[in-house]
Structure 1
Amino acid sequence: MSYSVELHLHTCFSFLEGASLPEELALRAATLGYEALAVTDHDGLHGAMEFAQACASVGIRPITGVELTLTRGVSQSTHDNGSPVHLTLLVEREQGYANLCRLITLAHKRTRAWEPIATHLPSEDPRPPALDPSDLAAHTDGLIALTGCRNGEIARLIDRGRFDQARLAAEQLEALFGPENVFIELQHNLVQGDTQRVARLAQLAEAANVPIVATGNVHYHVRSRHRLQDAMVAVKHRSTLEGSHRLRRPNSEFFLRPPAEVEDVFALYPQAIDNAVAIGERCKAFNLADHRELGYNFPDFSRRDGEQHSSADEVLAAFCAERFDVRYPPDRTDAQLREKARRQLQDELQLVKKHHLAGFFLIYRDLQQQATEVAKRVRGEGTIRGGSGLPPG
């Protein structure tokens, strides 16, 4: 089976890490003959929709994912002073997307805020969002877990010669995600130590009966873009190119390689190639480019007397009708102007209904009502299309 699916890729939305636009990566993938491409930016879905649309525009099947930072490895107890590790998560179906969003939210909520200091720049970079592994258990359905790059828990343990603990980590990931949803990630970017690490990871996979998968840890679409990536890393660490030498990637091999090159690198591990393609097939069930309406539900608004059994659209329409007569009283408004405003209001209500935004406007009504209790004038008049002149509340 030929390598046609890349499952570990960063766009420019991995800020100061990825050095290529989603459109550049998608176009390059199409040129090279890839069938599917996964976006796995760090700790967020900031560029997921743009990436999905860019892929769809050139006939590439997009896969949605994230390289998530964990506060510690899954094999470590809460009392261990472990350093953060990476875990790659891919969406297999719609429930997986919902769970991935929840995990990202938890990671951002639980990362401590940084207080401003007197200097114009903080003395160190803000800590990235990080998820406690204990939060994974309730949100694994519909997700496929890859064990991550060399900063993943298992790769790091292998590098330290801790084979038994690496096996324990693999078993615990299987307990969390299910045996069929965990893959040991093999990456070979021609860096010193990669060959030995890949061999040891393959041995671990065989011993633990966990499948392997080949990924590229892509950070730019063509090799020449590594110069920009070097500069971005220097900026990230507030250093110079010379001073950031140890922080930058060791070579220029973190680009989207032609499939034939990937197959050559993993010639000893054909199953890793086959599994990459198989995972790509499994992820066909969810395409973010086809899910523009993901069913986000706004928190419920404060319902007034008589509104308890009405839908949000009905409540908003009734409220606007009430406010319409206040804004355009029949006995003091030109009939033609009043009719024009009524048509405009109906158009806007249809637009609100189409995009499921009634809840937003009704929450805004609550906020404005609270604001009017402490202020004489409250900003907020306006509409989606800027026409009817009706206030939100």
Structure 2
Amino acid sequence: MPTMDEHYRAPVVPLPSARRTRAGEQETDPGGWAELHVHSAFSWLQGAVQPHELVAEAARLGITVLAVTDRDGLYGARRLAEAAKAAGIGTVYGAELTLDDSELGAPVVLARDLEGYRRLSAQISAAQLAGSKGAPRYDLAQLSAAAGDGHWAVLPGCPGPDFDRADVGAVAHRLQRLVEVFGPCVYGELVDHHLPEASVAMDVMAVAARRTGCPVIATGAVHYAAPRQARLAQALAALRRREDLEHAAGHLMPAPTAHLRSCDEMQQVLARHPGVLEATVEVGHTLVIDLDELRPELPGFPTPRGYTENTY
């Protein structure tokens, strides 16, 4: 395995140009993009737009698979399902879990199928009941059991504010801890918000994933649909800190880059990581769920003689 120094001495791959078919025609889209880490407005004061706004922008960009992964909840699932069905976009459902263990951070759990969706919903409900408002308490043993037979895919998600994303040892340790809890369903996650540290962080994640045997995909860690909504996202983040924009400035994302991107844009982002774009799209399509197939089985409510539940 190459050292980090050897990794950085490797020749830089140029940004991709349009590929050509045998007939000489340009081909720039390998099959759309799958965005698997997205916060909607249902991530309270973290996401800036509603699911239908995310779907509209995804359709404009040619995104073929879209997830909504709100913090500690599946609140936007039905709205995503309705909007995406009309737009012909595949839907992925998941949530970013706030775990007490600081080493684990806030991993994103994606349901692979309806059974995975049911298990994730049950784990979130149990954590919300065990904790307090805004502070769910997850049982790691129960999460591990729920993840045990392949119904979830897990991304590292957002690390804590003090986590050093440039420390390959720390990143590898975090991935290994996630594998210990969730099993072999953990993926390395490359994220590029076009900030100065992003390139190094992506390289470090790629190396750490190789060390721990985790496959690698990429996401946009999206918090709003389009760049024009970045200011709204900053205002919400400041409100979450109970500060105005001036006082919260050092804690806000400095660039309007946490938005949805097209496949062509992601090709440029991932030019130095061959195969990751295709792997992401492939994984995304395996996670698509039709929520209309979910048939809730609610318990009956006791009613007096002569009444149905509706008439009572």
- Per the normalisation by structure 1, the TM-score is 0.66
**Matching residue of 2:34:** 5
Q: State the Cα distance separating 1:203 from its structure 2 match.
A: 0.7
**Matching residue of 2:100:** 71
Residues of 1 paired with 2:103 and 2:143: CA distance? 9
- Match of 2:41, SS? coil
1:133 partner amino acid: L
1:139 aligns with 2:146: yes
Please say which of residues 64-73 and 1-10 is displaced more in the overlay. 1-10
Flag the structure with larger Rg: 1
Q: State the Cα distance separating 1:247 from its structure 2 match.
A: 2.4
1:106 aligns with 2:126: yes
**Matching residue of 1:287:** 290
The answer to whether the Cα contact below 8 Å between 1:149 and 1:187 also exists between their aligned partners in 2 is no
2:290 partner amino acid: N
1:187 aligns with 2:191: yes
**Matching residue of 2:59:** 30
CA deviations 1:104-163 (Å, max 9, x no partner) are: 1122123246xxxxxxxxxxxxx53342433311211411101113449xx93544x360
Number of matched pairs: 281
CA RMSD, Structure 1 to Structure 2 (Å): 2.4
CA deviations 1:7-29 (Å, max 9, x no partner) are: 01111111111111211110111
What does residue range 1-393 of structure 1 map to in structure 2 within 5 Å?
1-73=30-102, 85-112=105-132, 127-140=134-147, 141=149, 142-151=151-160, 156=163, 158-159=165-166, 161=167, 163=169, 166-179=171-184, 181-284=185-288, 286-288=289-291, 290-291=292-293, 293-298=294-299, 319-320=305-306, 361=309, 384=310, 392=312
The answer to whether the Cα contact below 8 Å between 2:33 and 2:262 also exists between their aligned partners in 1 is no
Q: State the Cα distance separating 1:194 from its structure 2 match.
A: 1.2
- Match of 1:156, SS? coil
Residues 189 and 162 of structure 1: CA distance in aligned 2, closer, same or farther (over 3 Å): closer
Q: Which runs of 4+ in 1 moved over 6 A?
A: none
2:106 partner amino acid: H
CA deviations 1:267-291 (Å, max 9, x no partner) are: 111322122112112113x222x23
The answer to whether the Cα contact below 8 Å between 1:67 and 1:148 also exists between their aligned partners in 2 is yes
Residues of 2 paired with 1:3 and 1:226: CA distance? 24
- Match of 1:243, SS? helix
The answer to whether the Cα contact below 8 Å between 1:3 and 1:262 also exists between their aligned partners in 2 is no
Structure 2, unmatched stretches of 5+, are 1-29
Residues of 1 paired with 2:173 and 2:246: CA distance? 40
Residues of 1 paired with 2:178 and 2:131: CA distance? 23
% identical equivalent positions: 30
Greater percentage in helix = 1
Residues 8 and 240 of structure 1: CA distance in aligned 2, closer, same or farther (over 3 Å): same
1:53 partner amino acid: E
1:145 partner amino acid: V
2:282 partner amino acid: A
- Match of 2:235, SS? helix
CA deviations 1:325-362 (Å, max 9, x no partner) are: xxxxxxxxxxxxxxxxxxxxxxxx5xxxxxxxxxxx4x
Residues of 2 paired with 1:245 and 1:235: CA distance? 12
**Matching residue of 1:80:** none
CA deviations 1:46-95 (Å, max 9, x no partner) are: 111111111111111111111111111467xxxxxxxxx21011110111
CA deviations 1:142-188 (Å, max 9, x no partner) are: 11101113449xx93544x360x543442343344342x21011101
2:96 partner amino acid: E
Q: State the Cα distance separating 1:301 from its structure 2 match.
A: 6.0
Residues of 2 paired with 1:17 and 1:260: CA distance? 27
- Match of 1:148, SS? strand
The answer to whether the Cα contact below 8 Å between 2:168 and 2:208 also exists between their aligned partners in 1 is no
